[in-house]
Amino acid sequence: MKDGMSPPIVGIDLGTTNSVIAIIRGGHPEVVPDANDEVIVPSVVLVDLDGKIVVGRDARAALVAMPDRTIAAVKRKMGLPDTVQLGGQSWRPEEISAMILRKLRTHVELLFPDQEIEAVITVPAYFNEAQRRATKEAGELAGFRVERIINEPTAAALAYGFYNLRGERYLLVYDLGGGTFDVSVIRMSDGALEVLASTGDRALGGEDFDWRLVDALAERIMAQAGVDPREDLAARATLKEVAEQMKWQLSDKTTAEASVPVLMMHNGRPVRLDAHVTRKQFEAMISPWLERTMQLVDEVVQEAHLSADQIHDLLLVGGSTRIPWVRDHLTNRFGKAPLNTVDPDLAVALGAAVQAGLKSGQIPESTMVATDVAPFSMGIAVAERDWLGRPIPGFYHPIISKNTTIPVARTDRFYTVVDNQTEIEVEVYQGEHPRVSQNFSLGSFLVKGLPPKPAGVEAIDVTFRYNLNGMLEVKARSVSTGEEMGMVVQDALDRASPEALEKSRQQIEALATTLVDQDDEVDEDAVIDQEDDAQIVDDGAASQGWDALVREKARLVRELAQIQGHKLVASARQWIAQLEEAEASGESERLEAVLNEATDFLIDCQL
């Protein structure tokens, strides 16, 4: 419980479009407005002509007219080594985010004068190490003590009160904001919240809808007045504002009107805008984006190994979920309406405050343990043998698979590749591609002093530990000598050379734009030079034949069948059914995936 001495703690939704701060008061989360009673702060920063930093609504108003003095959606750049030019100065994305956080801090400073303030800040479930670390740094630059970084869907579930319920429920969090779309499936079981699967599109949101409507309005004006208003900066800014307001109207009404007597001047005459748009027309304009969100909804439910009718509750987050199409289509797809007890603009901040309150004891201790899911696979570079037995480097062996429940610790064993190999380089990567060159490098370290032995004799155990704050610890231990080396991945980007940083940046950008389509062919030129003594070979993947998988499956089924306890038995039965189905499919990849997840479940049961 609260000891009266602990510092105040806040929850912060640091959003791409808007940001919100919340606290716990009287045992309940509540958002905190600024002196003008504004709760939602547009995540836009302006350096004005006097060099003063302005954050929020006024900065947003200057966005289109003063593009070189304003910056929006800096969240997209978090964790990248890019700098942002603003008012003739260059800034790191962390510094810009810190300005937004500092503005939010002013909302609560009157409540907590001259005190250190702790913060729980949310990030999208897909954020990687570098992005989480950058967010933490931004919080610290803004003067907060960052207590925890949590995933946005987990925060949303907390806001909807899913932290002290009994029994097992599956929740789908559909988050459509201004610039991004995220969808996650969360399992709520005996007070534990766990993100089972998460996906999304980092370049899909309400802004796209505004600009689509701007295009439609501009085309009408071009047909009438023979001029493209998008080429005039001020007219473009006005059109964008008009489009967004029409979009909002269309969430409440089936038609929207707009009239601007002088949008711009052309050949000495005023160009006016008179627009009438129906909801049907607007929906037709934006349906490719909306349909894509539903496709991702289907994918995430599948990835969580559930069917639509197993989802108990639908939670809406983000301003764009006010568009009626979203609610209607989710209702049709799941046979139930989304919950509407929490304002979708505030859900994430309120949930972050709940997490803060649980931490500080302001919300009474419940049995809740907020667990989460690894947003990417993490693993190391290995060599695999070709059909002549020659080791080929550059393959990726994931040790923690994407969507594994965290915190997690996992160890895999690897062997030396060449005779008399005395060193092993452990290269750590994050990503999903079978070749490491297409994944995101997190750093590397050497394990030295191995006794010279024939290839394949010396064994090395590599352990990955991934915690709730998204920090990865890697250790490698020589089985024969006990010699151990390791690294904590949060420094990986700092240590990298500028070239490596640039490479990582490009890689992460490639990762961000959905799947990379790369040639998986083994490169014959890449056969390891037998003198190269810093490689390891993957013990598992190459030798893991179908029979071994089936044997492992039988063993797991036996263990699952012995599980006791009312609620666990139901889950264990589901896992047994999934294992049987995976075996019946004859697909080793599928069976391996289910085996890994069922093993996680068993480990969780034993914890």
Q: Which residues bind ligand AMP (CB under 6 A)?
A: 15-18, 177-178, 206-207, 244, 247-248, 251, 318-320, 322-323, 345
Mind giving me the DSSP string for 343-387? -TTTHHHHHHHHHHHHHHTSSPP-S-EE-EE-SS-EEEEEEEE-T
Token pair in block for residue 507: 């890689």
Best CA proximity match to 128, nearest among 424, 489, 573: 489
CB of 210 to ligand AMP, least distance (A): 7
Q: Are the C-beta atoms of residues 146 and 98 closer than 8 Å to each other?
A: no
Beta-sheet pairing, 440-447 with 424-430? antiparallel
How far apart are the C-alpha atoms of 161 and 155, rounded to whole Å? 10
Active-site entry in 13, 95, 118, 137: 13
Measured from the CB atom, the residue of 15 and 124 that comes closer to ligand AMP is 15
Measured from the CB atom, the residue of 249 and 463 that comes closer to ligand AMP is 249
Active site residue 75: yes
CB of 106 to ligand AMP, least distance (A): 20
Active-site entry in 95, 129, 152, 210: 152
How far apart are the C-alpha atoms of 538 and 414, rounded to whole Å? 5
Best CA proximity match to 117, nearest among 208, 23, 206, 45: 23
CB of 96 to ligand AMP, least distance (A): 17
Active site residue 13: yes
CB of 32 to ligand AMP, least distance (A): 17
The answer, yes or no, to whether the previous bond of 324 is cis (omega within 30 of 0) is: no
How far apart are the C-alpha atoms of 212 and 52, rounded to whole Å? 33
How far apart are the C-alpha atoms of 382 and 535, rounded to whole Å? 7
Measured from the CB atom, the residue of 180 and 507 that comes closer to ligand AMP is 180
Active-site entry in 94, 118, 129, 175: 175
Measured from the CB atom, the residue of 241 and 552 that comes closer to ligand AMP is 241
Q: Are the C-beta atoms of residues 480 and 459 closer than 8 Å to each other?
A: yes
How far apart are the C-alpha atoms of 434 and 508, rounded to whole Å? 15
CB of 205 to ligand AMP, least distance (A): 6
Measured from the CB atom, the residue of 42 and 393 that comes closer to ligand AMP is 42
CB-neighbour burial class of residue 49 (10 A; exposed 0-12, middle 13-18, buried 19+): exposed
CB of 279 to ligand AMP, least distance (A): 11
Measured from the CB atom, the residue of 15 and 79 that comes closer to ligand AMP is 15
CB of 469 to ligand AMP, least distance (A): 24
Largest CA distance in the chain: 87
How far apart are the C-alpha atoms of 135 and 569, rounded to whole Å? 40
Length of the chain (residues): 607
Measured from the CB atom, the residue of 214 and 579 that comes closer to ligand AMP is 214
Catalytic residue list = 13, 75, 152, 175
